[in-house]
Amino acid sequence: MDYEGVLVIGEQRGGRVHSVTFELLARGRALADKLGVKLSCVILGHGLQQYAQEIVQRGADTAYVIDDPALEWFLPRTYCNAVVELIEEAKPEVVLAAATTTGRTLMPLVAARLMTGLTADCTGLDIDEKERLLLQTRPAIGGNVMATIKTPVARPQMATVRPKSARPLPADPGRRGEVVVKAYKREAASSASEKMLEFVADATQEVSVQDAEVIVAGGKGLKTRDGFKLVEDLARELGAAVGATRDVVDLGWIGYSHQIGLSGKTVSPKLYVAIGISGTIQHLAGMQTAETIVAINRDKDAQIFKVADFGIVGDLFQVVPEIIEKLQRAKAHKAL
């Protein structure tokens, strides 16, 4: 049987389908339409059948649900067994997953089992319609160039995609598709070599930067770790996530999970406040799709102002405390 179709590996967190699944479906729908094939999506977990129709409404022609208590928590080898079995049965020509912690852990295992290639952390996907090949574009050489990669021989062609690099399609309640509930073959499980002990949430961020609607991010212009506290204080007042440039993370002011840019997370919030960020190409690539960008920098020629919707040229150590004070006054007045 020839390989045909596009398969999206969906994600769930805590028994709910994660929004990155719908981003992947938007990517997959565009590729499937160019190839003239069907788009399918698989979700693995426990108690997820209720989400199958929404997956169809978001662009899938077929929604596979592999439901079992053993799949409630992500375990790399257990999930790999289930995904490989489905791919060997359905034989899609293209397989997409998110470049999240889950996707980056799972997909190399799947690729090794299937003896095919995998392009990680793609920011762009397209189809070479003449050769019917997936064009997989990702940053390379520290983000200084963009490389486009093909998989001319092995199948399926596989890629992980940066979260927030595409917007989900709106749900279409009138859309119809097939829902296939599949059993998980427990005898294939590798429970002897892996076991879930407990789930420990990242205590350094109340709101994940990739999921946040509002982000306050800081750069090297904050000068010190104490200076960076201004970013955290403003984020607290706005109920926002805290972001950072690579320089800030390298200096140890905050952890890597907050890094935004080509070598970190790609975000697309409703509001992005950039404080003391010059705006290198690498950083802009990770946040320029935000709906509204506000930049605060004393250098009027800083690159960040070229993508900002609103800019404040001034000393951030004066400007940011004033903004925080005004927000606190507004909250106090509203509470009266």
For residue 264, the domain's CATH number is: 3.40.50.1220
Q: Are residues 230 and 140 in the same domain?
A: no
Q: For residues 29 and 127, is the Cβ–Cβ distance under 8 A?
A: no
Q: For residues 136 and 122, is the Cβ–Cβ distance under 8 A?
A: yes
Facing residues of 138 across strands?
147
Among the three residues 171, 188, 205, which one is the final residue of a domain in this structure?
A: 188
Looking at residue 193, the DSSP 8-state letter turns out to be T
Q: Are residues 150 and 271 in the same domain?
A: no
Tokens of 102: 């889950």
d(CA 238, CA 232): 10
Range of the domain at 299: 214-335
What is the pLDDT, as a whole number, of residue 208? 79
Q: Are residues 106 and 232 in the same domain?
A: no
Q: Does any domain span residue 198?
A: no
d(CA 33, CA 30): 5
Q: Are residues 162 and 218 in the same domain?
A: no
Tokens of 23: 């981003």
Among the three residues 154, 188, 222, which one is the final residue of a domain in this structure?
A: 188
Q: Does any domain span residue 199?
A: no
What is the pLDDT, as a whole number, of residue 206? 64
pLDDT < 50 stretches in the chain: 189-191
- pLDDT digits 0-9 by tens, 77-134: 999 999 999 999 999 999 999 988 899 899 999 999 999 999 998 989 999 989 999 9
Q: Does any domain span residue 207?
A: no
Q: Does any domain span residue 195?
A: no
Buried b (16+ CB within 10 A) or exposed e, 52-88: bbbbbbbbbbbbbbbbbebbbbbbbbbbbbbbbbbbe
Number of domains in the chain: 2
d(CA 224, CA 253): 8
Q: Are residues 113 and 168 in the same domain?
A: yes
d(CA 241, CA 290): 14
Looking at residue 262, the DSSP 8-state letter turns out to be T
